[in-house]
Amino acid sequence: MMTAQPIVELQHVERQFIKDRQVIPVIQGIDLAIYPQEIICIVGESGCGKTTTGKMIAGLLNPSGGEILVDGQPIGKYQGRTKAILRRSLQIVHQDPFASLNPSHTIEQILSFPLQRHRLVNGRAELRKRIWELLTMVDLTPPGDIVHKFPHQLSGGQRQRVSIARALTVNPRLIVADEAVSMVDVSIRIGILKMLQRLREELNVAIVFITHDLALAKYFAWEGRIAVMYLGRIVEIGRTPDVIGNPLHPYTRALVAAVPEADPERTRHKEHLTLRSEEIPKLTNIPRGCAFHPRCTFFQPGICDTQIPLLEQISQKGQLVACTPQTQGGKLIRYLEPATTSSLLVAKHRSADG
């Protein structure tokens, strides 16, 4: 797969927003390639830039810097008919289906519009047949019970399936699923994820799955890749079994350590990491050097707080990690916080009493 030409490629992409005359660097120098038929999960805490990255991949946002290539061509070179084809090939499924579906339209009208707008069907009979095919494809059966309903008459899981069906109307090559199951009941999440996996195989479509839940990413993208984001940068990327089984970046290690295990024996032998700080820095005041260093268990003064880490390969399995001590050939060593004056006095007092 990796020998094929990427569908979408982000090269040193940046994205900034301006609020109250202040520049907010949401995305900083991302490099990412999405290949045909692959599953890639973008994982990270809220506010790290996952959704912004997904919108740029889908062509809904333009980068402030860097370049986005589609099939090897800069996205800005697509004009007229080629741009229309491009827009059809890149689709997005938003987090909240109730907000993304028009409440005044029936499901039939919602699915009809893209089919008619892009002239993908001829006549009423073919339109109706295609709508029923799409609803069956996303497991909304029988379609006759769904087509004349409005979004508010459906459950959250049904609405999300309609959103997925709408994305499929234009035969896309890549779908960005932005927290696509976070607003549905836990009991039906697996059903939607299995459906997405099936659609990827049947329709040969690539899926970019955005989530804050590493356990969900592990399940959905076990045969794909995981990209871990922190404050606008990708800090680690690789095959899912490698990232989960051997996390290299301290942030990834902290995420993996926080995932609960059903097996008590595995829990007892699992690595436990305590971050130096629970506070996430603001995008308006990103720390110098590695943005994770104020919270990092393996902080190295003079290195982590001065040098911006580059995403480089240090594993034979192909994992890329942005951690200066590791990319410069060093090892991760737990940081010992400097002793405070009070702790030194206590230690001195105990020594005198002994």
Query: From CA 59, how far away is CA 70, in angstroms rounded?
Result: 10
Q: pLDDT per residue over 44-60, tens digit each?
A: 998 899 999 999 999 99
Q: Check whether residue 212 and residue 289 sit in a common domain.
A: no
φ, ψ for residue 110, nearest 5 deg: -60, -40
Which stretch of DSSP H or E encloses residue 58? none
Residues 273, 229 share a domain: no
Domain membership flag for residue 121: yes
Q: Which of 235, 257, 280 finishes a domain? A: 235
Could you tell me the pTM of the whole model?
A: 0.90
Task: List pLDDT tens digits, range 253-301.
Answer: 999 988 877 777 776 777 778 888 888 898 889 999 999 999 999 999 9
Q: How confident is the model at residue 183 (pLDDT cuts 50, 70, 90)?
A: confident
Domain-embedded: residue 175: yes
Instruction: Report if residue 1 sits inside a domain.
Output: no
Whether 169 maps to a domain, the answer reads yes
Q: Are residues 100 and 200 in the same domain?
A: yes
Q: Is 331 helix (H, G, I), strand (E, B) or coil?
A: coil
- Residue 88 inside a domain? The answer is yes
Do 305 and 219 reside in the same domain of the chain? Answer: no
Residue 19 in domain: yes
Q: In this structure, are residues 69 and 151 in contact, taking their beta carbons and an 8 Å threshold?
A: no
Domain at 137, CATH number: 3.40.50.300
- Number of structural domains the chain divides into: 2
What are 111-123's pLDDT values in tens digits?
999 999 999 999 9
243: which residues sit within 8 A by CB, 6+ positions away? 225, 226, 228, 236, 237, 252, 319
Structure tokens at 176: 């960005």
Residue 258 pLDDT: 84
- In the chain, the DSSP E strands lie at 8-19, 22-34, 39-43, 65-70, 73-74, 90-93, 174-178, 206-211, 225-230, 233-239, 312-313, 320-321
pLDDT tens profile 88-109? 999 999 988 888 999 999 999 9
254 within a domain of the structure (yes/no): no
Q: Which residue has the higher pLDDT, 345 or 263?
A: 263
**Residue 152 DSSP SS3:** helix
Looking at the structure, do residues 218 and 293 belong to the same domain, yes or no?
A: no
Show the domain range for 275.
Answer: 269-354
* Statement to judge: residues 179 and 40 lie in one domain: yes
- Evaluate whether residue 143 is within a structural domain: yes
156-168 vs 123-137: helix crossing angle, rounded to 10:
130
